[in-house]
Structure 1
Amino acid sequence: MIQTETLLQVTDNSGAKKVKCIKILGGFRRKFAKIGDLVIASIRVVKQHKKKKVKVKEGEVVHALIVRTKSKFSRQNSTQLQYQKNCVVLMTTKNKPLATRVLGPVPKILRHSKFMKVAALSAGFI
């Protein structure tokens, strides 16, 4: 479960390393977010590349899609998933991915949702 003020790791090649959740989208006074939810985040740490162009700046406010969480996630067939870190993928305001690659696998739920593009950019499914 992700809530406001949570530090999240970015798992794409947009140039950001860590972001902080500011707001959870999808409802009035919503307190927690899970895998597949959108949040508004502020970029805290940016990778320092001299040759590569970084797409984001420190302090910028962006939308982000939650891809992995530390809390357990149950499926319909009574299996449970739990990841090591809380990870997000940065998105534009029109729900398109900001990056061209997603590092690591994503859950199968994203394949059947409106974020099919993120699932297609990932390394695989769990």
Structure 2
Amino acid sequence: MDNFYNSPLLARYLKSQKTDCFGTLRVNREFVPEAIKSLAKTEMRVGELVQTFSRDVSIVLWRDTNIVAMISTFHEGEVGGKEKYGRYKYKPQAVLDYNISMGGVDRKDQLLSAHPIERID
């Protein structure tokens, strides 16, 4: 799910309805723990990971170029990796899975952010 829609309350509700979800998260949402909200980019090193868990929802903060916040109802804090340009880079499993399942709309938004021009017929 996209960060526009995602929140801890929605993730917990979906889990109670036997539906797992994961996606990016805006940390200024209601019910996001203060420990996560208060972290700044300068307080984390590149590759550093901060996680918080409740009984059915986990929130992961990971610093790459910027801080990436993910929420998941089925990832348990695993760390995976991927080789790119001959170097192995460790990432949270939620980030790796999100990148694999990123749909066409997300990809379009990502590409248009660099070139904000759409064709109108």
Normalising by structure 2, we get a TM-score of 0.29
Structure ranking higher in helix proportion: 2
Q: Which has the higher contact order (CA 8 A, sep 6+)?
A: 1
